[in-house]
């Protein structure tokens, strides 16, 4: 007997067309666009607006300095916010996605 074919969609990262067509998004660097998609990829639900993405997971896509600049660019245009949580030695960056 053959296996029943699943009707579920493969995992994907939704990005609104309004965002892609906006002037803000068009002015972003390619690194900032990739960083935004990586942050959106971390969401488990569509209505989840805070995510945690350690740099170790983003390291396969870009250098540490490029990541830092991309995050600063995203914050400056208002697409994300960044806050730190944790103790003295191990702080975790929590990113808010809009």
- The residues spanned by each domain of the chain are 17-97
**CATH architecture label of 17-97:** Orthogonal Bundle (1.10)
Q: How many CB atoms lie within 10 A of CB 26?
A: 9
Report whether pLDDT(52) > 60: yes
Strand order in the sheet with 91-97: 50-52, 91-97, 80-86
Q: Which residue has the higher pLDDT, 89 or 36?
A: 36
DSSP state letter for 67: H
Strand runs labelled E in 1-98? 50-52, 80-86, 91-97
For residues 10-33, average pLDDT: 92
- Considering 19-28, 37-46, 83-92, the range whose residues carry the highest mean pLDDT is 19-28
Q: What average pLDDT is seen over the chain? A: 90
């Amino acid at each position: 007997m053959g296996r029943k074919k699943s009707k579920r969609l493969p995992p994907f990262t939704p990005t609104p067309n309004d965002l892609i067509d906006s002037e803000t998004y068009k002015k972003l660097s390619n690194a900032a666009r990739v960083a935004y998609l990586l942050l959106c990829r971390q969401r488990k639900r569509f209505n989840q607006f805070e995510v945690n993405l350690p740099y170790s997971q983003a390291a396969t896509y870009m250098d540490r300095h490029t990541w830092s600049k991309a995050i600063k660019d995203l914050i400056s245009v208002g697409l994300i916010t960044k806050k730190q949580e944790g103790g003295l030695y191990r702080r975790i960056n929590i990113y808010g996605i809009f």
